[in-house]
Structure formats: C-alpha cells, structure tokens
Copies of this chain bind each other. A is one copy, B any other.
C-alpha cells in the first residue's frame, strides 16, 4: 500500500456533521459521503419527512430534524437537539438556496418586496443564525489532528459571483451570504474554525430513484454542463480535512463546459 492523502486525515468516526437544508442534491450526497467516512450525520429541513431523507435514515443512519432555519428560536433548539443526539458538530454545511419561487426571473420593477425579504431570510439570514450557533459550539471543541475545531461550509450560487439582470433579490441574498462567510472566516479562522464558501457556478444534477441523473432546471436535458453533487460532496470533505496551515476560503466549482 502506498502512503496516501488519507493517512494524515482526522479520525472521521469522531466527526459529527450537521447539514442544513435537505434535498436530493448536495445535501443527500454530503450525508452519504460523510456517513461512509465514519461521521455521525444529521440533516435539518423544513420538511424532514421527504422520502429522500427517510431513505437516508435507513441506508446511512442519518438523523432527521425539522427546522425552519430562518427562525432564531428554531435554530437554537436544533443545535440543542443535535448536541444531545449526536454530540457537538465538527462539520456544518449550510445548503439552502432560499429563493421564493415567485421571485424567479423577475425584473426589479416587477419583483415583490415581501418575496425579496423572504428570500434573504431563507438564505443569508438563516446562514447567520446557523453559523452563529455552530461558532458558539465549535470554539469549545478540541482541535483535531489537523488543528481544526470545526468546519463551516456555505453553499452558494452563481448569483454570489455576479449580479445578473432580473435577479436582484437573489443577488442580494447570495452576495449577503458571501459577505457573511468572509467576515466569519476572518473572525473564526484564528480561533481554529475553518469557514468556507462554495459557489456552484452551474445547474446541479442529482441521482433519481431509478439511478439516472436528473437536472435541477425544468426543461433542460441532462448533460455535462451541470455539476454532480456527489463530486461537490468530495470537495466539501477535502475542505474539512485541510490542515489549518492551508485553509481555502472560497472554492468556485463549475463543469468543464460551463461558460463563465
């Protein structure tokens, strides 16, 4: 056997991963990969009874939690329950898109203000609440073999990289999430907490019940021009395993055929 990347990685069996936002894409892929690497895994979602999550519970012992992540009290309760059930989280993934459907592709003169505010609350504000609770817990963790007390990863979207036309509300939310992540990184990294943001500059596919890959955007076909969430999860795991001498903050992922 050759020496390999994994020799010096942390003992994952002591890791506790909490994934906020629950769907068949990145969240499911992370839950599987983290569990397969020995972590105890929880997923929080508004509706934790989705079939995809029930299945993860059976196949990967993933614990399911109901939580509206835009509500301060609900987020506080979530972390109390996770600590009680699984232990203190060492890896947090915030994976909520948050767009209210009615805001999609609306010009600035048409977009509903209430929907714009809700999009922010669902996305950046929930990231603030989740990140706040995670930071409170992680700074009390012992450092692992890589010197890490905990890792906080925020998924983000193309709208964090560029303000597209007819997407003002989503641009606000995604830029806000990036700004929060950057502030938290500068604040928490010297305390041993690795904060990262991963903008996925592409549509994201997922694996359907029948094993084929599906596409997030209705009316598009499944081709190479979308990101595979199983591969996104691998980069999240790599980020978690980085030694604190070499932490990455922002990693943009995009498919080889994506225009940018």
A residues with a Cβ closer than 8 A to B are: 2-6, 33, 36-38, 72, 107-109, 111, 113-114, 116-117, 120-121, 124-125, 128-129, 131-132, 135-136, 139, 147, 159-160, 162-169, 171-190, 192, 194, 205, 224, 226-228, 231-232, 234-235, 237-238, 242-257, 260
CB-based nearest B residue for A177: B172
Can you name 11 extra interface pairs (CB under 8 A) apart from A163-B181, A244-B256?
A111-B128, A117-B125, A120-B176, A147-B256, A163-B182, A163-B184, A176-B176, A190-B256, A234-B246, A247-B255, A249-B254
Interface of A, secondary structure class, is helix
Closest 6 CB pairs of A and B: A163-B182, A175-B179, A163-B183, A165-B187, A171-B179, A176-B176
In the complex, chain B residues whose CB is within 8 Å of the CB of A109: 132, 135-136, 139
Given contacts A109-B135, A245-B255, contact A260 B171 (CB under 8 A): no
CB-based nearest B residue for A131: B108
Is A245 a contact of B260 with CB atoms below 8 Å?
no
In the complex, chain B residues whose CB is within 8 Å of the CB of A174: 179
In the complex, chain B residues whose CB is within 8 Å of the CB of A247: 253-256
In the complex, chain B residues whose CB is within 8 Å of the CB of A169: 128
Is B231 a contact of A242 with CB atoms below 8 Å?
yes
Q: Find A165's partner among B129, B164, B186, B255 (CB 8 Å cutoff).
A: B186
CA of A37 to CA of B113, assembled, Å: 34
CB-based nearest B residue for A137: B109
In the complex, chain B residues whose CB is within 8 Å of the CB of A234: 5, 242-243, 246
Is B108 a contact of A116 with CB atoms below 8 Å?
no
In the complex, chain B residues whose CB is within 8 Å of the CB of A182: 162-163, 171
A-B contacts, 18 of them at CB < 8 A, read A2-B37, A4-B36, A5-B234, A108-B188, A109-B139, A120-B120, A147-B224, A162-B182, A163-B182, A166-B183, A166-B187, A168-B179, A175-B179, A186-B260, A192-B256, A231-B243, A247-B253, A247-B255
Is B176 a contact of A163 with CB atoms below 8 Å?
no
Is A125 a contact of B129 with CB atoms below 8 Å?
no
Nearest-neighbour CB distance to chain B for A211, whole angstroms, equals 15
Nearest-neighbour CB distance to chain B for A245, whole angstroms, equals 4
